[in-house]
Structure 1
Amino acid sequence: MSALALGVIFSIAFGMWLRFAIWDYSTTQQIPATIRPELEELRADPHHNEARLWELFQRYYDVRDFLPGIASRDWLWLASFIMISIPVVILGGLLASRSLSRQFSDVARAARRVAQGDFSVRAPSVPGAPAEIIKLAKDFNRMTAKLEQYEREIRVSSAVLAHELRTPLNAAAGRVQGMLDEVFPSDPQQLMLVKGQLDQLNRLVGDLHLLSLARAGQLAMEKSLFSVSSLVSERLEWASPQLAVANVITQVDVGPELMLLADRDRLGQVLSILIDNLIHYAAQGQCLEIKVSQCESALHLIVADRGPGVEDDQLTRIFDRFWRAESSRARPLGGTGLGLSIASAICDAHGGSISAYNREGGGLAIRMSIPYG
């Protein structure tokens, strides 16, 4: 709309200039050729001989063109241009507002469906709509995607959480009851089995607490400047026994000069989660690739494997709580299904993002982006 208004103003100004140029040229052409040089000279310096200039104006120009007031021909021309411009402005405004109105209508329609409990709805981007309104639609879609994820997690987490809590509790209670009934001997070995179940329960509660803090925006971040290469080397060293047992070959591409201001321990936790994920679910590919790159605003870290990958329709869900693919991430392989949710929460707390995609030739790649500072 602003561009339309400016365009109309410039068009009116150009029209007035063009009208004067044509009028002046036609009038000048009617003046005898012997007089024209003198008139041009006097017009260039009006104060040199004002009397002679007025005399020529009175002889060859229409006096009505010099009259002040609203009856001047210039005002009539200006009024004509304005009257012509009014329908142009109205028509242009209607055309320009159609995309704006459609975009608002789409967002409003989607909002009503969200209010009715349908979090799968998305507001389409209307071509030609202002960039700010398109950004509003995209932000709305990101919000509904988060709401859909939360609703899905709430729907499935109650049953899953009850199962995850009940399993170690039942195992520990059964072991203790067996010792009380003298089915099992009351020795340190049996107590260590009980402690293992309680440790598993404690890890689950700790993971859930971390996710709750992250969702509430209260996950504490202790940022410091550190070498990304040293962090990758450290976490690979920690996982080296498991990688060696699984016969996984590691390929690392990270520059030693890359530095990042972030929470080192939290990002190390994300890296350990991704490595552990590969060991549990993609070790058959016998390949772990870690690549770190940077752009002007963020650092990108990719952890990739040559395992079975994930179904395409599941790629957007792998960061949900308690998510497991039915085939490659079954319960017998262990874990609670919270690892990638924790990784996503930590990236979000840094103002970054994490995503997954299937690789050409097989395998899964998880890409983490963390902004500088």
Structure 2
Amino acid sequence: MTRGSGLNLLGLGALGTRILLAFVAVAISTVLVLAAAALIGVDRGVQAGEQADRQEVADSIATTAAEAYQRAGSWDDADLARAVRIGEAASARLVILDAAGTTVISSGVPNENSLGSGGVLGSSASVADITVDGASVGTVRVALSATTSSSVLDIAWKWIVIAGLVALVIAFAASWLVTRFLVGPLHTVTDAARAFTAGNRTSRVAGNAPGELGELGAAFNGMADEVARSERDRRNLTADVAHELRTPLAALQAGLEELRDGLIAPDAERLAALHDQSLRLGRIVADLAELSAAETAGALPRESRVDLAQISQEELALHDARLRAAGLHIITDLSEPVFVQGDADRLHQAIGNVIANAVRYCRDDDSLMVALAVQGDEAVLTISDTGPGIPVDDLPYVFDRLWRGTAARDISGSGIGLAVVREVVAQHGGSAEVESAVGEGTRIIIRLPLARSI
């Protein structure tokens, strides 16, 4: 059982269940807060409405009581029946007090919440002064029945509960749909990853999920493609290395067996042939070691600001004897220093491999041209020759490992030199390109970022 597998709701999995529960908890909290706010708002609104109603009733009763007092001249003879009827019509508890605070008349159903000490209406009642000829002759206190406010709150409670339940159902359904929407692509990626780990290298994430989930699926597919390509390259490399080593090993084995059995004399010519085969084996092993070092290297170990023109000149000088022996004419355009950021030793290796490749394939009296220029923020090193050129069908494979064109099968070489060039240039953040036509020569173009100004 995997970790968290015990938590699984509606087939959503552990993560989906946690997301769903989080959504539901947020929804419940939101509904409770809104319900409390609604109840408080309704209660405050009812109280404000009742206060306005009470004050309106109190003002009306005060006006009526003032008219009655003015006609009678005193509270003893005042006819307050009309004032009482106004209070009864409003279902209000009414108390009229004289100027000394003595109760003149009271009516209505007592409200325990509105009664103060001694049965006088408390602070919750509305008060209005009874004024006659600008002088206060008494006050009116009015309190409405609690039936109205309680009934309003009961109705509010009912609808708030119904609305809350409906909101929770909708929130749960929406949360479940959103969770399925989020977790579904994750399950797809997980299933594809498990199948890929189990050995199915064709396993990929199907479908197009939106946003970051789609990017996750695309990233997994890219990773799977790269792993599959790496495994394919590794198998091809193993087969190519075995093929390249088989020929010199077979020649060495056959020659040594003939010498051992006394079938041929160990003369200088035979020993030289066997020595050549051993040298070929040594070159292949050395080239493989260089390629492995170039491909597995991380950060450049001795990165510094180096002059690419100087490195090119030094490599030409190092290969001078081989260039003259091959009968090549050298043309250079390296007069201006061009600085790049990188490892001088590896750049020496890359440029030397291109020159050595030209020496190997060019004919007597061909020309080799090395030119360096600045284009934008790049240094462009062009090494071109007037050799036999490369067929168009072979151009895409020039920088592949252990690849040699069909027209060059009879020329010694491991097919690793230009692969090393590509790896070294890529480590420096640059690119390597080839242009060629049969019978017109070959041009290798190396582009490297210029060094930062000091």
Structure 1-normalised TM-score?
Answer: 0.54
8 Å CA contact 2:389–2:440 kept in 1: the answer is: yes
Shift of 1:268: 1.5
Asked if 1:252 is matched to 2:346, the reply is no
Q: Which residue of the other structure, out of 306, 320, 325, is the alignment partner of 2:405?
A: 325
Residue equivalent to 1:160: 240
Q: Which residue of the other structure, out of 195, 198, 202, is the alignment partner of 2:278?
A: 198
Asked if 1:227 is matched to 2:319, the reply is no
Residue equivalent to 2:436: 358
Q: Which residue of the other structure, out of 355, 362, 382, is the alignment partner of 1:302?
A: 382
Question: Which deviates the most, 257-266 or 143-152?
Answer: 143-152
Asked if 1:339 is matched to 2:417, the reply is yes
8 Å CA contact 1:285–1:306 kept in 2: the answer is: no
8 Å CA contact 2:306–2:341 kept in 1: the answer is: yes
Shift of 1:325: 1.9
CA gap of 1:307–1:144, structure 2 versus 1, over 3 A, is farther
Name the % identity: 30
Residue equivalent to 1:276: 356
Residue equivalent to 2:449: 371
Shift of 1:248: 1.8
Letter in 1 for 2:384: A
SS at match of 1:283: coil
8 Å CA contact 1:153–1:321 kept in 2: the answer is: no
Letter in 2 for 1:210: E
2-structure distance, mates of 1:190, 1:278:
30
Shift of 1:140: 11
8 Å CA contact 1:308–1:363 kept in 2: the answer is: yes
SS at match of 1:333: coil
Residue equivalent to 1:21: none
2-structure distance, mates of 1:140, 1:344:
27
Asked if 1:177 is matched to 2:228, the reply is no
CA gap of 1:313–1:354, structure 2 versus 1, over 3 A, is same
SS at match of 1:322: coil
Q: Which residue of the other structure, out of 275, 290, 305, is the alignment partner of 2:370?
A: 290
1-structure distance, mates of 2:220, 2:397:
19
SS at match of 1:293: strand
8 Å CA contact 1:299–1:370 kept in 2: the answer is: yes
Q: Deviations over 1:128-166 (max 9, x none)?
A: xxxxxxxx9xx9999899779756644643433212112
SS at match of 2:414: coil
Q: Deviations over 1:27-80 (max 9, x none)?
A: xxxxxxxxxxxxxxxxxxxxxxxxxxxxxxxxxxxxxxxxxxxxxxxxxxxxxx
Residue equivalent to 2:129: none
1-structure distance, mates of 2:222, 2:292:
20
Q: Which residue of the other structure, out of 216, 221, 224, is the alignment partner of 2:296?
A: 216
SS at match of 1:332: coil
Residue equivalent to 1:102: none
CA gap of 1:246–1:187, structure 2 versus 1, over 3 A, is closer
SS at match of 1:157: helix
Shift of 1:282: 3.2
8 Å CA contact 2:244–2:414 kept in 1: the answer is: yes
Structure 2-normalised TM-score?
Answer: 0.46
Q: What pairs up with 1:10-21 in 2 under 5 angstroms? A: none
CA gap of 1:148–1:342, structure 2 versus 1, over 3 A, is farther
Letter in 1 for 2:261: D
2-structure distance, mates of 1:286, 1:150:
39
* Bigger Rg, which one: 2
Letter in 1 for 2:252: A
Letter in 2 for 1:216: T
Shift of 1:286: 0.8
Shift of 1:257: 2.7
CA gap of 1:349–1:179, structure 2 versus 1, over 3 A, is same
Question: Which deviates the most, 249-258 or 181-190?
Answer: 181-190
**5+ residue gaps in structure 1?**
1-107, 119-135
CA gap of 1:325–1:188, structure 2 versus 1, over 3 A, is closer
The structure with the greater share of residues assigned to helix is 1
Q: Deviations over 1:97-134 (max 9, x none)?
A: xxxxxxxxxxx9xx9xxx9978xxxxxxxxxxxxxxxx
1-structure distance, mates of 2:394, 2:377:
29
Letter in 2 for 1:355: E
Letter in 2 for 1:301: L
SS at match of 1:262: strand
CA gap of 1:246–1:201, structure 2 versus 1, over 3 A, is closer
2-structure distance, mates of 1:144, 1:320:
21
Shift of 1:169: 1.8
Residue equivalent to 2:345: 265
Shift of 1:344: 0.7
**Number of equivalences:** 251
Shift of 1:347: 1.0
Q: What pairs up with 1:16-55 in 2 under 5 angstroms? A: none
Shift of 1:355: 1.1
Asked if 1:240 is matched to 2:339, the reply is no
8 Å CA contact 1:222–1:262 kept in 2: the answer is: yes
SS at match of 2:397: coil
Q: Deviations over 1:301-344 (max 9, x none)?
A: 111122333233432221111212212xx221110111111111
1-structure distance, mates of 2:285, 2:237:
13
Q: Deviations over 1:284-308 (max 9, x none)?
A: 6712111111245332111112233
The structure with the greater share of residues assigned to strand is 2
2-structure distance, mates of 1:145, 1:300:
32
Question: Which deviates the most, 270-279 or 311-320?
Answer: 311-320
